[in-house]
Amino acid sequence: MPTAIHISALNKTFRGGRKALQDVNLTINTGEMVALIGASGSGKSTLLRHMAGLMAGDGSAQGLIQIHGKTVQKGGQIARDIRQIREGIGFVFQQFNLVGRLPVIINVLAGTLHKVPMWRSLLRWFTQAEKARGIEALRRVGIDECWAQRASTLSGGQQQRAAIARAMVQGAKVVLADEPIASLDPESSRKVMDILARINREDRCTVVVSLHQVNVAIKYCPRTIALHQGRVVYDGPSVGLTPAVLRELYGADADDILSLGDHISSLEDKAKPVPHRAWPVPLAQAA
């Protein structure tokens, strides 16, 4: 399977000497849906920001990040053509989400700006066909009726969904989502995760999503990469992350990942008469 994201020897030391990423080496294949988990401060956002070319790794190390074979950064230098590379990446990052004063449809169509002439992008003038594509993307994420509203009037979950619609319109083949459900209620969280899973499945989009909740990772992502103090401490099937494994990896910090862990499954518990089994059988026992 072709490689979507390749990371080798990536280190990040912030001013003051805090090591936020330590010798990160990863390969994510096209079409994977991967969760990044870890306690608060473990380096999830920092890693995603490096993948997006928004932050450069340590210059002294030979850190390399490539997306679809194109270099995002190498040896602490962001690639000169990073804008072009970003055209193929969809971001569901809080700070990038939407321009609140503009209508939802314009925000979504911003995903096509790299494809339209400069004068049209400045005037925000879109063709009927482009608008139809935007509405179709909004329909796929279930908020097409909101197309004319100012983005600032959407709920948090709707804003995340609009950001995903923008990535669809953009034709992104990699979507990076930084804690997209962190501040959402269970129902909105489920919708956002369902949509990410759909674009992964239907559009064969590679999705990397950082999550606090390990059981959401287990439910939606076949593979989980777990970070602890900037290091990859687990990279494998999500079902292998039992409470016992998490306690071994994180010690007392495991509670951070486990205690927040059931806000989607608790919703299902209410809906289903059968008891929800929060933890799948550990791999060792299943074999």
Residues that bind ligand ATP (CB under 6 A): 14, 18, 20, 38, 40-46
The token duo for 53 is 């070319």
d(CA 109, CA 123): 13
CB of 94 to ligand ATP, least distance (A): 10
- Of the pair 4, 54, the CB lying nearest ligand ATP is at 54
CB of 213 to ligand ATP, least distance (A): 11
- Of the pair 38, 156, the CB lying nearest ligand ATP is at 38
For the chain, strand residue ranges (E) read 3-13, 19-29, 33-37, 64-67, 70-74, 77-78, 89-92, 174-178, 206-211, 223-228, 231-237
The token duo for 38 is 């870890």
CB of 176 to ligand ATP, least distance (A): 13
CB of 156 to ligand ATP, least distance (A): 16
Bridge-partner residues for 73, per DSSP? 65, 78
- Of the pair 56, 168, the CB lying nearest ligand ATP is at 56
Q: What is the side-by-side order of every strand in the sheet holding 89-92?
A: 89-92, 174-178, 206-211, 33-37, 223-228, 231-237
- Of the pair 170, 213, the CB lying nearest ligand ATP is at 213
d(CA 194, CA 47): 23
Bridge-partner residues for 227, per DSSP? 232
Helix axes 128-140, 156-170, angle to 10 degrees: 130
CB of 18 to ligand ATP, least distance (A): 5
- Of the pair 134, 156, the CB lying nearest ligand ATP is at 156
CB of 16 to ligand ATP, least distance (A): 7
- Of the pair 41, 103, the CB lying nearest ligand ATP is at 41
d(CA 57, CA 82): 15
